[in-house]
Amino acid sequence: MIAPRSLFARNILLLVALVAISQIGALSVLLHFVQTPRIERAAATFASYVVTLDRVMRATPPDNARLITEHLEVRNDLPADARIAAPESALRFYRTYQRETFMENLRRDLPADMLVRWQIGDGMQRLWIRAHLAGEPRWIALPLPEAAHDDGIVTTLLLSVALAALAVAAAYVIQRHLNRPLEHLATAARQLSAGGDPGVLPVDGPTEISQVSVAFNRMTAALREADATRALMLAGISHDIRTPMTKLRLAMAMSSVPKTDASFAASAEGYLDTIDTILQQFMDYAGSGAKETPVTGDLNALIANLAADFAGLGHEFELKLGDIAPFPFRPISMMRMLMNLMQNAALYGVVGLEVQTWTDERAQTACVVIADRGKGLRGQDPEALKQPFKRGGGEGQPKGTGLGLAIVERIARLHGGTLSLRSRDGGGAEACIVLPLDQKNAG
């Protein structure tokens, strides 16, 4: 048997097992120390009465035997429905146990020649015992003692089952109450991992769980402070570097260098543009977009606009846009994510550029695939390529910081989605973005 993985299910299973074991133990004690001795005493008492009756009947003169048969049901032969053992019933197991125990002890206490048979008919239960009337063996019907019936034990068992069910229900309610803070903690952790702000967790639960919530609140506060410090530092660095860069551009434009050495001036401008692009990528990576408000929009329309912009730059994307209902997303962050992927496809793939979209109705997600017919992943680990500052190797590839895919994955996680990279059938590579249409659980 495979144990459940969740703590809630394990605790409920443990409580159910403990209640079941306690009920089985209580029933065993009741049967062994209370009911079984009682049945044995009833069988011994009944046997002593039968033996006494047999002695009286055995000593009765033949002339008086007729008087006894008028008060007792006496037969020479057994009825056809008389049985050696009491009938068994799986549903009424305790009654079966009582009858078997009674019959076993009765046969043990009676003489060997006094046979016992059980009869049930017309709603009546009785025992047939072979006694001796005036010295001749006869079968005598005797009423069944009350000890061979349930004696309310079924009611007791049903009450025990009801109490056990009540205990399990109470344990379920208590465990749900204890698990609620853990569910809030798990939800907050998912929001935090997606780049969102989970807010402050309540700390009014049990002591052990409240300590975890307090530690989590302190951690999120420290992370917010670190993010703010990082963003401020990068903004300061960007400002401090771009200021002399602007002055350098202006100085070069006003100098005689562009006229005397045009190639050097163009190269310098290219280097300045590269530095500016790198600074912008650092700022994009630092700004997660978590503070941007989601707006219901048309994802296909956004992709079509970006494809038109790339077409104006000479990069034609084939669009295969399926039906995607408008859903809430962060427009600026979404545009940045799609632009990075399309730019990667244009720079690294060059040819066979394609964007395909569709809706997964079963998972309620929107899927976007941006593909190319370039050199593909070339055996590189797709997960490693999504790490910050990790770039795909290869001679002649465009230079960069290696933050593009890291930015894309961060934005996808911010929307509760995923980014996956894989080789494309027929050559090339493709990036697949899966976004939930219901953004209420996203960061």
Percent of the chain past pLDDT 70, that is, above it, reads: 83
Which pLDDT score is estimated for 400? Answer: 52
**11 and 149 fall within a common domain:** yes
Q: Which domain holds residue 40?
A: 7-155
The alpha carbon of residue 232 and the mean position of all alpha carbons in its chain are separated, in whole angstroms, by 41
Collapsing DSSP states into helix, strand and coil, what is residue 369? strand
Q: At 251, which CATH number?
A: 1.10.287
H helix or E strand, kind and range, residue 411: helix 404-414
Query: Do 89 and 154 contact (CB within 8 A), yes or no?
Result: no
Last residue of a domain, one of 266, 287, 308: 287
Which pLDDT score is estimated for 145? Answer: 57
Q: Is the pLDDT of residue 320 over 90?
A: yes
Q: Is residue 319 part of a domain?
A: yes
**131 and 258 fall within a common domain:** no
Q: For CA atoms 207, 3, 22, 16, give the dihedral sign.
A: positive
**206 and 218 fall within a common domain:** yes
**251 and 294 fall within a common domain:** no
Last residue of a domain, one of 126, 155, 184: 155
Residues with Cβ within 8 Å of 393's Cβ and at least 6 positions away in sequence, in order, are: 378, 380
Q: Is residue 171 part of a domain?
A: no
d(CA 366, CA 344): 21
**115 and 256 fall within a common domain:** no
Highest mean pLDDT among 140-144, 209-213, 218-222, 376-380: 218-222
Residues 93-131 pLDDT 10s: 777 778 888 888 988 999 988 898 888 766 667 888 988
Residues 151-173 pLDDT 10s: 566 677 777 778 778 877 887 78
**296 and 282 fall within a common domain:** no
Which pLDDT score is estimated for 299? Answer: 94
H helix or E strand, kind and range, residue 434: strand 429-436
Query: Do 268 and 252 contact (CB within 8 A), yes or no?
Result: yes
DSSP state, residue 64? G
d(CA 338, CA 307): 10
Which pLDDT score is estimated for 441? Answer: 52
Helix, strand, coil percentages (3-state) for the chain, rounded to 5, are 55, 15, 30
Q: At 348, which CATH number?
A: 3.30.565.10
Higher pLDDT, 293 or 231: 293
Last residue of a domain, one of 127, 155, 183: 155
Higher pLDDT, 261 or 331: 331
Mean pLDDT computed over 359-370: 92
Its pTM stands at 0.47
Q: Is the pLDDT of residue 371 over 60?
A: yes
Mean pLDDT computed over 325-346: 89
Buried b / exposed e across 220-232, counting CB within 10 Å, b at 16+?
beeeeeebeeeee
d(CA 368, CA 319): 11
Question: What is the pLDDT confidence band of residue 403, given thresholds at 50, 70 and 90?
Answer: low
d(CA 44, CA 53): 14
CA angle at 91 for the pair 156 and 47, rounded to the nearest 5°: 75
Which pLDDT score is estimated for 322? Answer: 93
**294 and 437 fall within a common domain:** yes
Strands (E), 48-180: 74-75, 116-121, 124-133, 136-143
Q: What are phi and psi of 301, to 5 degrees?
A: -65, -40
Residue 134 tokens, joined: 């005036």
**141 and 44 fall within a common domain:** yes
Percent of the chain past pLDDT 90, that is, above it, reads: 16
Q: Is the pLDDT of residue 287 over 70?
A: no
**328 and 276 fall within a common domain:** no
Q: Is residue 178 part of a domain?
A: no
368 closest CA partner among 433, 438, 302: 433
Q: Is residue 175 part of a domain?
A: no
Question: What is the pLDDT confidence band of residue 401, given thresholds at 50, 70 and 90?
Answer: low
Which pLDDT score is estimated for 353? Answer: 94
Q: Is residue 164 part of a domain?
A: no
Q: Is residue 334 part of a domain?
A: yes
Number of domains in the chain: 3
Candidate from 117-126, 145-154, 185-194, 329-338 with smallest mean pLDDT:
145-154
The alpha carbon of residue 379 and the mean position of all alpha carbons in its chain are separated, in whole angstroms, by 35
DSSP state, residue 2? P
Q: Is residue 174 part of a domain?
A: no
Which pLDDT score is estimated for 290? Answer: 64
**149 and 214 fall within a common domain:** no
Higher pLDDT, 89 or 395: 89
Question: What is the pLDDT confidence band of residue 370, given thresholds at 50, 70 and 90?
Answer: very high
**343 and 385 fall within a common domain:** yes
Q: Is residue 173 part of a domain?
A: no
Higher pLDDT, 274 or 398: 274
119 closest CA partner among 90, 141, 149: 141
Strands (E), 316-442: 318-321, 327-329, 354-360, 365-371, 418-423, 429-436
Residues 218-242 pLDDT 10s: 988 888 787 777 666 766 777 677 7
**131 and 240 fall within a common domain:** no
Q: Is the pLDDT of residue 386 over 80?
A: no
The alpha carbon of residue 387 and the mean position of all alpha carbons in its chain are separated, in whole angstroms, by 30
